[in-house]
A and B are shown apart, each in its own frame.
Chain A
Amino acid sequence: MSASHEVGQIEIQKARMIEEQRLTILELQTPVIQVWEGILALPIVGSVDTARSQEMNEALLQKIVDTGAEIVILDVTGVPVVDTAVAKHLLETVAASRLLGADVLIVGLSARTAMTLVHLGLDLSGVTTRTTLAKGLQLAFSRLGLEVVRRRDSDASSFVSDEAVL
């Protein structure tokens, strides 16, 4: 009797722990980063299911309203497989952000992902895509009329204070 009671206790504790961990993961997986004034980045790591995509959408849209961002960069470098379902979620995010007046760039598409998308016959033609976050950021800057240039007096060979100024 007491033994089975203890087992029950342990089970409850386990369930509670799993629930806590689930919530932690949920919080961790949708960081929306303001990388510059008017530019938000959303690094996506891991697979994207419906529940997660909804979380992401909510967090992103709220951030667009809060910061008045004009450009959103969705980084899918950390997404192992972009299949039909994932692409559908991404396109929903793109459409919703557009309704708030923000343009979305999808970056981090690998050669394999591109092949998969083409094979699946998915149409991402309405979305601007780039291979890396850096390229996406560059595009975002140019759309906002910003330019990144190296300071004239900076020594290109030195590693210290080699900051680029905008």
Chain B
Amino acid sequence: MARVPIISIGDVLIASVQEDLNDRDAANLQEELNELLEKTGARGVLLDVSVLQLIDSFLGRMLRDIATGARLLGAHTVVVGIQPAVAVTLVELGLELTGVRTALNSDRGLRLLQILMARERSGIWSHNERKRTH
């Protein structure tokens, strides 16, 4: 069984996947994240999947569910570090993870989370949510 460590830094929960996840592990991760979100009131979730060489349809759906669930608990989710080969597979499976925000790496992901959280705070919710800052 692969437990995913979740650390809470500031307003953000960071879950960094360390090894391949089976269906049970993914469900546990979702449960744990939701519990932590409820407990800490975090406003963002960063999910690092860079070690995963394969994301199957179940895990793909799970990522989407995690994001949807987190949203209900008032947090934005950004999935970071999807490998190119994994991206191709996901698209071929028809799992484009619509509704899940993605970023190249943790650095970019955190930046995106900050933007999303700041925007929500200020109440500006523009059409183009992913507008860049530099």
A and B together in one complex: yes
Contact status B108-A101, CB under 8 Å: yes
Contact status A100-B132, CB under 8 Å: no
Contact status B82-A99, CB under 8 Å: yes
Report how far A35 CA is from B109 CA in the complex, Å: 24
Q: How many residues of B contact A (CB 8 A)?
A: 23
Contact status B91-A92, CB under 8 Å: yes
Contact with B along A108-149 (1 / 0, CB 8 A): 000000000000000000000000000000000001111000
A52 to chain B, nearest CB (A): 14
Report if A62-B132 is in contact (Cβ < 8 Å); known contacts: A99-B90, A100-B102, A101-B102. Answer: no
Contact status B132-A70, CB under 8 Å: yes
Contact with A along B100-122 (1 / 0, CB 8 A): 00111100110010000000000
Look across to chain A and name the residue whose beta carbon is closest to the beta carbon of B79: A99
Interface check A58, CB cutoff 8 A: yes
Residues of A within 8 A of B131 (CB): 143
The range of chain A's interface size is 20 to 34
Contact status A95-B102, CB under 8 Å: no
Task: Find B96's partner among A64, A98, A102, A143 (CB 8 Å cutoff).
Answer: A98
Residues of B within 8 A of A103 (CB): 130
Interface check B87, CB cutoff 8 A: yes
Most buried by A among B82, B87, B96, B109: B87
Those of A69-117 within 8 Å (CB) of chain B: 70, 92, 95-103
Task: Find B84's partner among A92, A100, A144 (CB 8 Å cutoff).
Answer: A100
Interface check B126, CB cutoff 8 A: no
Beyond A61-B88, A64-B104, A99-B97, 17 additional pairs, beta carbon < 8 A: A58-B84, A64-B84, A68-B108, A92-B91, A95-B90, A96-B84, A96-B90, A99-B86, A99-B96, A99-B102, A100-B82, A100-B104, A101-B80, A101-B103, A101-B108, A144-B134, A146-B134
Q: Which 9 A-B pairs have the closest CB atoms?
A: A61-B84, A101-B103, A145-B134, A99-B87, A95-B96, A101-B104, A96-B87, A95-B91, A96-B91
22 A-B contact pairs sorted by A residue (CB < 8 Å):
A58-B84, A61-B84, A61-B88, A65-B104, A68-B105, A95-B91, A96-B88, A96-B90, A96-B91, A99-B82, A99-B86, A99-B96, A99-B97, A100-B82, A100-B104, A101-B80, A101-B103, A143-B132, A144-B134, A145-B132, A145-B134, A146-B134
